[in-house]
Structures are given as C-alpha cells and as structure tokens.
Amino acid sequence: MTVRRGAVGAPAPRVEGLAKVTGSAAYAYDRPVADPVYACPVQATIARGRVVAIDGGAAAGVEGVLAVVTHREAARLADTADAELAVLQSDAVAFRGQFVGVVLAETPEAARQAAGLVRVEYDEEPHDTELRADRAGLYTPEQVNGGFAPDTDEGDVDAAMEAAAVTVDRIYTTPMLFNNPMEPHTSVAVWGDGGDEGGGGPGEARLTLYDSTQGAHVVRSTLARVFGLPPERVRVISPYVGGGFGSKGMPHAHNVLAGLAAMAVPGRPVKLALTRQQMFSLAGHRTPTIQRVRLGAGADGRLTAVAHEVVEHTSALKEFAEQTAVGARMMYAAPNRRTAHRLAALDVPVPSWMRAPGEAPGFFGLEVAMDELAQACGLDPVELRARNEPEVDPESGRPWSGRHLVRCLREGAARFGWEERAAVPGTRRAGRELVGLGVAASTYPYYRFPGSRAVVGYDGSGRYTVRIGAADIGTGAWTVLTQIAADALECPLGAVRVEIGDSELPPATVAGGSSGTASWGSAIVAACHAFRGAYGTEPPPGAEAGADMPRDPDAERFAMHSFGAQFAEVRVDADTGEIRVPRMLGVFSAGRIVNPRTARSQFIGGMTMGLSMALHERGVLDHRTGHVVNHDFAEYHIATHADVVDVDAVWLEEEDAHAGPLGARGIGEIGIVGAPAAIANAVHNATGVRVRDLPITPDLLLR
C-alpha cells in the first residue's frame, strides 16, 4: 500500500525553521535549568599508560570550584562492558585525550581554569598509533559495521587477474576524518529522585539528560545499563540537534562523564559541552583506510575480477570496523570477486560512524580504479560503467528493487556537458588553468531498522498529534514526518503536529543509515491507518491509536540500494597547483522524494562533504605523541563557501514499489559517496596526474 500524494512530494518548508533562525530553538546546552554547574574535563596527555597521581589541590582552590572528580572519586558504574563508556573507572589510559577527570564549578570559566591546574602524573607506556599495510598485528574482525562478514571470496580472483587483458592494481588511501557537526557534543545531566520531569517515586534515583543526540532512546537504554537503572528512570530530551553525521548516533564517553559528574553535585544540573579540540578525540572519527583495489577486464572493459582489500584502524579500547569494501560486493558484474577487511588495534581514540561509513571511503578506491580501468581500456568512464551493470545483485543473486545507475549516468552526462571532456588528460586549458571533468558512481543501501512505534492522538478541535521518539539532526525529518502523517491521515499539513526528540515518546530507532524517513515514516503510516481504522474520519476528542513499524517482506526478496552518478569539473592552476571545483552535479535514484527542498539539502550537503573530503580534510596524527595535531577549524580544513561554487543535485522521478509504504529509499548519505572520486578523476583529466591518496592538495599537482 502506498500513501496518496498530497503533502508528500511537496517542498514544505521546515516546521522548526522559524524557531531555529530566530534562535528560540533550545539546543541541549541552551536548555534553561535552575542552578547549573559547569563541567570541564581533564584529558590524558599520554597515549598509553597509567595515571599514578593526580593533584587536584590547586584546582580545588580556584574560586567557585565545587569538585574535582577523577577515577578515585567517581562512582562505580554498573556495566563497563563497553570500554569506551567505562569512564573514570580505572587508572588506565588508552588514548591521548581520554578523560582522566572532570572539574565542576559555578562558572564555565572557573571550571576551565581549574581543569588546567589539575596535575596528573603518568606511568607512560610505549604507544602505537601508526597504520601501515605491512605492519604486524593486523587481524580480521568477526564482522564489520552493519553486521557484514569481513571477507568474501567468489570465483578465483588471482586466476582472473592473470588471464585478464587489462588490469588495474593500485593502492588508494584516505586519511583520518572527523565529523565535526556545527553543534559540538553537549550533555546536561541532572539526577533527581522523583517529582520532576522524569517521574518515578521519591528516593528512586533518576537521571534526566538534555542531550545532543541522533537517538534519544539509544542514549536512554545505554545509560540505563551503564548506570544500573531501569530505563524508565532515565529520560533523554533532545528536540533540536545541530548536526551529527553519525558522531551522535550512539552515546559517547561525554554522556557518561556528565552523568558521573552530576552525581557529585546531587540535585544540580551539570552542563558539559565538548570544545572543538575535544571533539577530535572524544566524538568518534573515520578510520584512515589503505585500500588495494584490483580490477581485471577484457579489452572491451567487461570486468572479470574485482578485489577490494582494506587495511584500517580501530581503537585498542573498543573495536569499530568500518565496512569499507562492502560496497564492492554488489556494485559491478564480475564473476570473480574478493573483499577483505584487516584491522590494526591502535592506541587511538575510538572510531565510529561518519556519514556513509564504508561507502564514503570505499568508493574513493573503487571508483578511481574504475576511472583507471576506463583509461587503460580506452573507454569513456560512463560507458565502462554501463558495460558492467549487473542484471541481479552479484552478491545475493536477488533481483534489484530498482537499479537505475545507468540512467543516472546518462542523464548526468547530458546535463553536465560531458561531451566536452577531453579524451586525452591534461590537454584542456582556460588561460593558466587546466580544466578537467570527472565522473564516479554512488550507491547506498536501503535500510529500515525495526523498533520504531508511532502513536496518533486527536484533540477534538481538528488537530492531530503524532508522537515518535525520532530525531531531526538538521535533515528535515521533522518536516517530512509531518508530511507523511498528513497524507496518511488525509488531512492538511497544518493539522498535524509531530513530537520527536524525547525518550518519553514511543521508541524510535536512531537517525542513522539514511533509514529515518523509511523506518519512522512507515511506523507513522501504520499508526495513522490504525487510527483511521479505529475512529474513521470523525474521531472523538482524546482518540489515540498506535502501531509498530510493519515488517518488510520485500527486504528479504530484493536487493535494495540507491544509486547515483556524480560529475565534477575541476580547474588546476598551472603555476601553483591550486585546485578549484567550479561545478558539481549529482543525479540520484533514491526512490520517492518526500520533500524536494529538504532532499536537495541532503544531497548537496553530502556532495559538499565529499568535496571537502576530496580536497581538504585530513586529521594529522603525530605518532610521537598520538594526538591529532590539527585539532581545530583553522587547521583541520573543511570546505568553505568559497570552495563550494555550484553544487547541484537532481533525481529521477520514481517510486520504489518494494521500499515500504513510502517507496522512498533514504537520501542522507549517498551524496558523499563517489564525490571524492569524481573530483579525483576530474583532477586526472585536467592534469594527467593520478592522485590516489586523499586529500588532493596543491603540492601534489606542482610540476
């Protein structure tokens, strides 16, 4: 069943837009609380070892300081199975920047001053932070992020490479990357014993957290476990979130630190905001990757072998294995295919989700390799990809629910003026600039995660309330869910109010995997239909009905992925090597687009992040100290407005008949996938220089 068209498909403006632009939207840290206490963390200045002494005397003497909490004073946590969250539970230091204490004070200034006065002595042990493909100790994780097998091997890649008329065998690398949403991670924690917002009886410890998170419910369930509370005695409130990109997809150490800190000042709310510098060690990051890509093909460009083998890091403290090579399993038709993931467990901060984990770095290697293959075969890169379209998913053998990659490529080529691309690299000039065009393919899986529930209520005066503990991290989810509910209830948009961002609301899965609209949206459609089924079009005041997200039998029968084609023009200054990207175009196939306005922002936002990954972003880890040296926005470069000239996205008008009641596959992440490769391929077309290591900086293009 699909919902009728009406609000869905219209470019509705953001429902929370006015509150945000007028500054009245209260983000977690803005939340007015009575009598707040300010927390400032103390961080380890070694990458591995033990804390042997902490002198908080000078800190405690600063006027306004209430407490200095270290692993000696901190309460014991109930569950320390997740080592990242076992905050202040021992003297061990697992990475530089890890929390070793926290100072609480009446003002943020006093807290910060005092934190700088805490003297920590360490017993330092040798650390190991350097990722290399030839290093010792690489291991195969049990699974990679998303629950995928680490390795796959189909046919005989080595024999196919041996026999292939044309081969590509190259190493591609991507650096350590940091999500850095505009709003840093913040948490305001208050312990109570019943009576106020969270409910619960007197004498029963309860934790309320105003948090900047992509999932209030996952923060609640995790913190309940860590602090040994029943979930109903933890409440997480986070209606407004200033971006996350995955870094707020699961609770991190700062959430636990805020909770621990607040125990030291019972009844008073503790405010904790990470600084930008702290974000570089405490908010997750994308692992650096070393990717060996091998392609074998006939002279006609038809692939006989695809191998994508990846070496990447995780933290010795906790494993996170980015699924970098997983996309290569389904992308192109080739009888012989191999993928592998090897990890080094290093003394580095804990990596985590960052927009399109897996595909974002993986499609740099794969799609630059495809460009190299096109060049080796003397084929146009668009044509090469068209020749390697699989009829069915090469990995599962299932039919596609809708694979329109070639349409995206052809449509994009026509719109972008692809025929102007010089067949011979380095031959097109405009004044002192070398001009090049590049293309790359994108994909992202359709995810719908079970576990969401929506409840619809009616107030008797024409207004419906839809309640679901979802999150809008700037994506437009709030607006889109309102549109979906309006259509499912067959009522005007203005008659629906959606409540999100609170763990008191019915459960919802995390805003991740580009799954929100499809997962929460289908729960809302089901709840609206249940409501109309129970009450018809004239519901009584107080009428209420809810539903869980329905099961999705098609997900088992079809291979469901979004696809896209990314085009880029680059100009390289022949004197200085400076690279500019005057134009980018993405053409996407993502099922039904629920709101073209917010969808466009997601696509071009992803592409911009891809541009930034292509040309700018690089966390520089100093292996002598184990810290990210360029840990601020002056030194860790992210694309500025001046770098982003003309980024455009369009999409195929379609509905995926198998993608739930909405026919929409999710759009939050695909925009970043392939964008770096399109730019790298354009750089090659402009200069003849093949850059296989990101970011592509001017020094690499100097002649």
Partner 1 sequence: MTPFEYLRAGDPGEAVAAVAGRPGAAFLGGGTNLVDHMKLGVAGPDLLVDVSRLPLDRVEETAGGLRVGAAVRNSDLAAHPLVRERYPVLARALLSGASGQLRNVATTAGNLLQRTRCPYFQDVTTPCNKRVPGSGCSAIGGYTRYHAILGASEHCVATHPSDMAVAMAALDAVVVVLGPGGERRLPIGELYRLPGDAPQRDTVLEHGDLITAVELPHLPAARRSAYRKVRDRASFSFALVSVAAVLDLDGDAVRDVRLALGGVAHKPWRAARAEEALRGGPATEDAFRRAADAELAGARPLPGNEFKVAMTRGVVVAALRDLAEEGR
Tokens of 230: 């029943």
Lay out the site mask for partner 1 across 11-50 (x = CB under 8 A, - = otherwise): ----------------------------------x-----
Q: Give the span between the Cα atoms of 444 and 668, in whole angstroms.
A: 9
What's 470's DSSP letter?
-
Region near partner 1 per CB under 8 A, out of 441-449, 466-474, 559-567, 632-640: 632-640
Q: Is 476 in the site for partner 1 (CB under 8 A)?
A: no
130 is catalytic: no
**Contact of 686 with 434, CB cutoff 8 Å:** yes
Q: Is 119 in the site for partner 1 (CB under 8 A)?
A: no
Backbone angles phi, psi at 689, to 5 degrees: -95, 125
Report how many residues bind partner 1 under the rule CB under 8 A.
36
Q: Give the span between the Cα atoms of 9 and 567, in whole angstroms.
A: 26
Helices 516-535 and 477-489 pack at an angle, to 10 degrees, of 30
Q: Is 173 in the site for partner 1 (CB under 8 A)?
A: no
SS (H, E, C) 62-106: CCCEEEEEECCCCCCCCCCCCHHHCCCCCCEECCCCCEEEEEEEC
Lay out the site mask for partner 1 across 393-432 (x = CB under 8 A, - = otherwise): ---------------------------------------x
Nearer to partner 1, 420 or 635 (CB): 635
Q: Give the span between the Cα atoms of 616 and 180, in whole angstroms.
A: 14
Q: Is 276 in the site for partner 1 (CB under 8 A)?
A: no
Nearer to partner 1, 2 or 625 (CB): 625
SS (H, E, C) 643-660: HCCCEEEEECCCCCCCCC
Which residue in 56, 259, 577, 668 binds partner 1 (CB under 8 A)?
A: 577
Q: Is 620 in the site for partner 1 (CB under 8 A)?
A: yes
Region near partner 1 per CB under 8 A, out of 109-117, 255-263, 548-556, 595-603: 109-117
Nearer to partner 1, 124 or 654 (CB): 124
Q: Is 354 in the site for partner 1 (CB under 8 A)?
A: no
Q: Is 576 in the site for partner 1 (CB under 8 A)?
A: yes
Which residue in 79, 109, 196, 490 binds partner 1 (CB under 8 A)?
A: 109
Q: Is 5 in the site for partner 1 (CB under 8 A)?
A: no
Q: Is residue 121 helix, strand or coil?
A: strand
Lay out the site mask for partner 1 across 643-682 (x = CB under 8 A, - = otherwise): x---------------------------------------
Element containing residue 616 per DSSP (H, E): none
DSSP string, 9-60: TS-PPPTTHHHHHTT-S--GGG---SS-EEEEEEE-SSSSEEEEEEE-HHHH
Q: How far is the CB of 677 from partner 1 (least distance, A)?
A: 20
Q: Is the peptide bond prior to 695 cis by the omega test (within 30 degrees of 0)?
A: yes
Region near partner 1 per CB under 8 A, out of 68-76, 359-367, 385-393, 625-633: 625-633
Nearer to partner 1, 63 or 197 (CB): 63
In 3D space, the residue among 610, 609, 621 whose CA is nearest the CA of residue 344 turns out to be 621
Q: Is 497 in the site for partner 1 (CB under 8 A)?
A: no
SS (H, E, C) 426-437: CCCEECCEEEEE
HSE (side-chain half, CA atoms, 13 Å) at 374:
25
Other residues' Cβ atoms within 10 Å of the Cβ of residue 112 = 17
Which residue in 70, 98, 113, 213 binds partner 1 (CB under 8 A)?
A: 113
Q: How far is the CB of 35 from partner 1 (least distance, A)?
A: 23
Q: Is 121 in the site for partner 1 (CB under 8 A)?
A: no
Q: Is 485 in the site for partner 1 (CB under 8 A)?
A: no
Q: How far is the CB of 416 from partner 1 (least distance, A)?
A: 21
What's 324's DSSP letter?
T
Nearer to partner 1, 272 or 477 (CB): 272
Q: How many residues does the chain have?
A: 703
Q: Give the span between the Cα atoms of 568 and 582, in whole angstroms.
A: 8
Q: Give the span between the Cα atoms of 93 and 276, in whole angstroms.
A: 21
Q: Give the span between the Cα atoms of 240 and 279, in whole angstroms.
A: 19
Nearer to partner 1, 597 or 616 (CB): 616
Region near partner 1 per CB under 8 A, out of 163-171, 413-421, 631-639, 668-676: 631-639
List 16, 183, 499, 669, catalytic entry = 669
In 3D space, the residue among 27, 305, 302 whose CA is nearest the CA of residue 162 turns out to be 305
Site for partner 1 in 241-260 (CB under 8 A): none
Tokens of 203: 């004498």
The answer for 591, left when phi > 0, alpha when psi is -120 to 50, beta otherwise, is left
Other residues' Cβ atoms within 10 Å of the Cβ of residue 143 = 14
Q: How far is the CB of 576 from partner 1 (least distance, A)?
A: 5
Q: How far is the CB of 205 from partner 1 (least distance, A)?
A: 35
Q: How far is the CB of 269 from partner 1 (least distance, A)?
A: 23
Which residue in 221, 616, 648, 654 binds partner 1 (CB under 8 A)?
A: 616
Helices 596-615 and 359-377 pack at an angle, to 10 degrees, of 70
Which residue in 127, 292, 421, 627 binds partner 1 (CB under 8 A)?
A: 627
Q: How far is the CB of 587 from partner 1 (least distance, A)?
A: 25
Which residue in 20, 50, 112, 497 binds partner 1 (CB under 8 A)?
A: 112
**Contact of 118 with 68, CB cutoff 8 Å:** yes
Nearer to partner 1, 420 or 632 (CB): 632
Q: How far is the CB of 579 from partner 1 (least distance, A)?
A: 9
Q: Is 698 in the site for partner 1 (CB under 8 A)?
A: yes
Site for partner 1 in 556-575 (CB under 8 A): 573, 575
Q: Give the span between the Cα atoms of 100 and 92, in whole angstroms.
A: 9
User: Active-site residue numbers?
Assistant: 669
Residues of the shown chain interacting with partner 1 in the complex, contacts defined by CB under 8 A: 45, 109, 112-113, 116, 432, 573, 575-578, 580, 615-616, 620, 622, 624-625, 627, 629-632, 634-635, 637, 639-643, 697-699, 702-703
